[in-house]
Amino acid sequence: MSNHSFDQYSINSTISQIVEGMGFKEPTPIQQKVIPAALRGESIIGQSHTGSGKTHAFLLSMLNGLDENLKQVQYVVTAPTRELAIQIYDEVTKAAALAGKENTWQAKLVIGGTDKLKMMEKLSSNQPQIVVGTPGRILDMTKEEALNLGGVKAFVLDEADLMLDLGFIEDVDQILLRTNPDVQLMVFSATIPERLQPFLKKYLANPTHIQIEDNKPSPESMEHRLIPLRHKNPADIIVDITKVIQPYLAIIFTNGKEQADELASELLDRGLETGLIHGGLSPRERKRMLKELQGLRYQYIVATDLASRGIDIQGVSHVINARLPKEEEFYIHRVGRTARAGLKGTAINLYTEEDLPLIQRLEKRGLTFDFFEVKNGEWKEVKSYNERQTRQRKETDIEKQARHMVRKPKKVKPGYKKKMKRETEKNVKKLKRNSFRNKK
């Protein structure tokens, strides 16, 4: 039984009411560390995986310090995608409803894909106390002086590594230049890449580092299968896979927008009803695609890494990696879209020899891979790359032994190399025959 509860923190009765209304019994590991540090006003670098409870770790702390009589922007939360910003904003409005503060807590969603002039008019006449949005649109609103961020108490940068990958760190930098230099900055990220360090050093003097290590990088109930690509077309193998799995919803990951477009087109040509989602789609297209996913129009959706963290897609039973990512953390995030809420999940990975270093690193982290092919509409277990490598090494050892058996002549004559090669080949055959007899 855990000794942790939300009552141990210096939270007011309104926040306790929200916690109770949301059905939270005890704080998650990241909440146990973030909430007290955030309440003390410390700047934070929080590292944890998706689904760790970090959103409520910073939201509960912010709402606890909200001054409802102060009609100015007090808190800003930035997210790399509109979908993620909407999810966070929904949690703010849910909390306000549970606290009975719908009319006194003023929150505003500031994202692209909406009427810019109308948004400017609304913001100019009524400054929200909490701003949740994407960096580009928040920066637009501050440049147009529709948003005044001079009095911001705390600023959250969510999914910072994804923000970096999508090229939004420069926008965040410009926003922070327009805030109070002493603003409390909370940066949350699954990974802290080297490229993020200059930004962190610029804005966080003595941050509190919080890192939550999951015991396992993916749920125990998860199965990881590897299928050799062997110069085949990924679309052909994926079509074969679809004949032997019955997914509720399968996400098919690729590396980049061009690959995603190409694969989705090839799968459609082969008669597979497939959705597509990546950062290159317009806001309207992405909104339509997510709506169709919720309406269960598709069983398969081709996606880039944007969907592994930037968008919450419900009911994923299978993840198929048409191309494996280069980094371990991206693999963890991709497969983390499935096996949620106690459901079983399967990750199916098409791989080449170039992917072996990644696979070996993941194995060291405790993942177990099974090797399969799909033949005649059935799963067929095949030998792992380890067994093949071992067999090759044995043959190499025999060749070395055969070479040592051949004596190099004291006087080198023309054609001696060919002669030595023939003798080596004879010795190899002889050693292999002996090896075969010994096994009998």
350: pLDDT strictly greater than 60: yes
Total domains, the chain: 3
Q: Express as a percent the part of the chain with pLDDT over 70.
A: 84
Q: Which residues contact 171 (CB under 8 A, 6 or more apart)?
A: 135, 136, 138, 139
293 lies in a domain? yes
pTM above 0.75, yes or no: no
Residues 401-417: what's their mean pLDDT? 67
In a shared domain, residues 394 and 295 = no
In a shared domain, residues 88 and 36 = yes
Q: Name residue, tokens 């690193």.
A: 361
Domain holding 419, by residue range, is: 386-435
**Least confident piece of the model among 160-174, 232-246, 426-440:** 426-440
**The one-letter amino acid at 339:** A
pLDDT of residue 320: 94
343: pLDDT strictly greater than 70: no
217: pLDDT strictly greater than 60: no
Over residues 265-274, the pLDDT tens digits come to 999 999 898 9
Instruction: Give the count of beta carbons closer than 10 Å to the beta carbon of residue 280.
Output: 15
1 lies in a domain? no
Local confidence band at 206 (pLDDT 50, 70, 90 cut-offs): confident
Over residues 16-35, the pLDDT tens digits come to 899 889 888 888 888 889 99
**Is-contact 168 80, C-beta < 8 A?**
yes
pLDDT of residue 164: 81
Instruction: Give the count of beta carbons closer than 10 Å to the beta carbon of residue 356.
Output: 13
pLDDT of residue 97: 93
**The one-letter amino acid at 75:** Y
Residues 287-312: what's their mean pLDDT? 78
357 lies in a domain? yes
Instruction: Specify the CATH number for the domain of residue 155.
Output: 3.40.50.300
In a shared domain, residues 378 and 393 = no
Over residues 316-334, the pLDDT tens digits come to 888 999 999 888 878 887 8
Q: What's 100's DSSP letter?
A: T
204 lies in a domain? yes
